[in-house]
Amino acid sequence: MAQINPSILSADFARLAEEAERVGGTDGADWLHVDVMDNHFVPNLTLGTPVVESLRKATDTPLDCHLMIEEPDRWAPAYIEAGAGSVTFHAEAAVAPVRLAREIRAKGARASMALKPATPVEPYEDLLPELDMLLVMTVEPGFGGQAFLDIMLPKIRRARRLIEKHGLQMWLQVDGGVSASTIERCAEAGADVFVAGSAVYSAEDPAAAVRALRAQAQVAAGGGRAG
């Protein structure tokens, strides 16, 4: 079942509660994707735990926090306490990824690890059983609205093969440039969770855009994954 996680990075920050509701409702967003950037790990600065805590109170849609920050080992637990249901840390930033994933799970959230475009998935094969989700970045992290990197499709396929090799039930997420013109290729390659920012929030009806993207992904996945 394909999941669509609208990224609030493309929302109106002055009206986040309303923006969360615009993508919610029946058959709306599966999760809200919250991009946390510290202007160190990536060249942008966004939001932190106070906004996550406020969002948690304003919406019933679970929060998927993507930590594009240094020292995720130190800061990740605070996002769970603020209300995140899923926390993603970057492999490139974590000091002890296994310990961090176990701590996230122990605190009641889903543990996810992200890989930047140049980071291969194969060295992390043994870590996969410790995770609930793997995120393959399909743009360089830091800014929304970037063009999808087609060269990431083989990496998505390799990640799916590793997940299936180990018989895992974990999700495979893609983030960056996901739109009506790219989501089918991602689904065919093996992704099943899709972060979409401008493709959702630039639409006249964001909730309808979520449903349309989900339908596209499910049809593409049903047609068989690329080998």
Q: Where in the sequence numbering do the catalytic residues fall?
A: 35, 175
Residue 220 is classified by DSSP as H
d(Cα 196, Cα 200) in Å, to the nearest integer?
Answer: 6
Q: How far is CA 61 from CA 14, 107, 116, in A?
A: 19, 19, 26
Q: Which residues contact 56 (CB under 8 A, 6 or more apart)?
A: 63, 82, 83, 84
List, in sequence order, every residue forming a beta bridge with 210; answer none if it has no partner. none
CA 123 to chain centre: 21
Q: What does 152-178 look like in DSSP terms, one character per residue?
A: GHHHHHHHHHHHHHTT---EEEEESS-
Q: For residue 118, which amino acid is it?
A: A
Nearest CA among 45, 36, 41, 104 for reference residue 71: 41
The answer to whether 116 touches 141, Cβ cutoff 8 Å, is yes
